[in-house]
């Protein structure tokens, strides 16, 4: 354990007008009853999630996204959760709770009391996670569908029946389409035909290209143009009274290979570390028994100039995982957390699989580029 008294932390402040991503869907539901503090009343509501579209990414590429850039200004933003990664953020969006409550605390975490490090986005089937219990919060769709509200998910075919879908979106009827424009049109049609409905449409296209080529690549810009066209058509085809919000789970920074920090056998930084979880820009370090303090000290001494290095207690007390951290969630957090501040990424080079080191676009940490996302109002919300 590394439960020392918290040090004085210097963490980035969120923009004062940024909404919390955890509040988006609860406020959409309130809008359907005419009582939202964020949105105008609506007869149906759609949340359109563009995976990987940070506010800074959009601002830097406005020439490739004229519709999206014109749909909102600098103040039309939300702050995603920490870690700023898809598994944690989408779970928070679709449960209305923080990672400290729902327990999805990054890409990979250790199962408490074991030596198993599990993948919380893609590893439900292979790593033995139970979507009904590992994710601790009730999905909004499950509750609303049980109360009689029409609830729909429009996403890629490959996500039908996945463990992550069950953990976060159960209760909704699933519609599949591989083209982002088709997905958006299906969502608009469902919202029009089912008064009182809540519709979730998901576009992972940008994130996929960003990881492979980087968000500064021509391929990313081209994909943004496709997403922008889909969003424009979607907005134009919303029926009267239907409100929609377009947002994202996280932004992205590019980390070229020469900025990778490789952890090798014999390095001081892996001494006393039993397991490494998280992702390249936000590590969960699980220490050997009685080694957490020395691991914290080693990483602080070496990496504090380019990363925020915190003990579990410091991260919890700082509210990084939300105002409430359930004991079960707390036990999943690393003894030491390393959140990159500079444009670097950490890789365990002892692993045989070097494939992840080919990734260019990255996210997971606390920087504004990763945490601040658009919150654009369309249709009845505009």
Q: What is the pLDDT of residue 12?
A: 85
Q: Where do the CATH 3.30.1360.180 domains begin and end in the chain?
A: 257-360
Task: Provide CB contacts within 8 A for 354, sequence distance 6+.
Answer: none
| Cα dihedral: 275, 277, 281, 282 (round 10) | -100
Beta-bridged to residue 78, according to DSSP, are 19, 373
Instruction: Identify which has the larger pLDDT, 17 or 310.
Output: 310
pLDDT at 7 over 70: no
CATH of region 19-254+367-379: 3.40.720.10
**pLDDT by residue (tens digit) across 119-137?**
999 989 889 899 999 999 9
pLDDT tens for each residue of 41-77: 999 999 999 999 999 999 999 999 999 999 998 889 9
Dihedral class, residue 343 (left if φ above 0, else alpha if ψ from -120 to 50, else beta): beta
Give 350-381 pLDDT, tens digit per residue: 999 999 999 999 999 999 999 999 999 999 99
Alpha-carbon distance of 295 to 281, in angstroms, equals 18
Select 257-360's CATH number: 3.30.1360.180, 3.30.720.200, 3.40.50.300, 3.40.50.1220: 3.30.1360.180
| Radius of gyration, alpha carbons of the chain | 20
Taken in order 191, 194, 195, 197, is the CA torsion positive or negative?
A: negative
pTM of the model: 0.95
Contact between 360 and 345 under an 8 Å Cβ cutoff? The reply is no
Residue 158: which residues within 8 A CB-CB, separation 6 or more?
none
The distance from CA 50 to its chain's CA centroid, rounded to whole angstroms, is 11
Q: Judge residue 285's burial from the number of C-beta atoms within 10 Å of its C-beta, 0-12 exposed, 13-18 middle, 19 or more buried.
A: buried
| Omega of the bond leading into 83 within 30 degrees of 0 (cis) | yes
Task: Name the H helices within the chain.
Answer: 24-32, 55-60, 66-70, 86-95, 99-102, 124-127, 140-146, 163-169, 180-193, 205-213, 218-236, 292-303, 312-317, 327-330, 368-371
């Amino acid at each position: 354990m590394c439960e020392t008294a918290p040090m004085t932390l210097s963490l980035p402040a969120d923009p004062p007008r940024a909404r919390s991503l955890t509040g988006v869907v609860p406020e959409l539901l309130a809008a359907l009853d005419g009582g939202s503090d964020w949105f105008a009343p609506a007869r149906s509501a759609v949340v359109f999630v563009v995976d990987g579209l940070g506010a800074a990414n959009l601002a830097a590429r406005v020439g490739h996204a004229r519709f999206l850039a014109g749909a909102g200004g600098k103040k039309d933003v939300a702050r995603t959760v920490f870690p700023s990664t898809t598994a944690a953020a989408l779970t928070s969006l679709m449960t209305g709770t923080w990672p400290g409550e729902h327990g999805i605390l990054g890409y990979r975490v250790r199962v408490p009391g074991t030596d198993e490090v599990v993948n919380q986005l893609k590893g439900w089937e292979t790593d033995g996670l139970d979507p009904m219990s590992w994710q601790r919060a009730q999905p909004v769709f499950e509750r609303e569908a049980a109360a009689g509200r029409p609830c729909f998910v429009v996403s890629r075919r490959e996500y039908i029946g996945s463990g992550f879908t069950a953990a976060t979106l159960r209760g909704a009827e699933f519609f599949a389409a591989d083209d982002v424009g088709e997905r958006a049109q299906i969502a608009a049609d469902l919202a029009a035909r089912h008064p009182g409905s809540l519709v979730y449409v998901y576009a992972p296209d940008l994130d996929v290209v960003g990881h492979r080529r980087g968000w500064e690549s021509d391929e990313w810009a081209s994909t943004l143009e496709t997403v922008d066209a889909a969003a424009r058509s979607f907005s134009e085809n919303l029926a009267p009274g239907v409100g929609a919000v377009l947002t994202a789970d996280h932004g992205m920074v590019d980390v070229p290979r020469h900025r990778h920090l490789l952890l090798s056998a014999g390095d001081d930084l892996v001494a006393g570390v039993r397991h490494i979880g998280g992702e390249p820009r936000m590590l969960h370090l699980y220490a050997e028994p009685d080694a957490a303090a020395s691991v914290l000290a080693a990483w602080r001494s070496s990496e504090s100039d380019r990363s925020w290095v915190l003990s579990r207690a410091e991260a919890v007390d700082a509210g990084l995982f939300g105002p409430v951290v359930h004991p079960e969630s707390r036990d999943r957090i690393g003894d030491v957390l390393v959140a990159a501040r500079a444009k670097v990424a950490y890789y365990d080079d002892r692993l045989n699989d070097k494939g992840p080191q080919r990734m260019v676009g990255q996210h997971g940490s606390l920087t504004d580029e990763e945490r601040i996302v658009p919150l654009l109002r369309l249709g009845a919300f505009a």
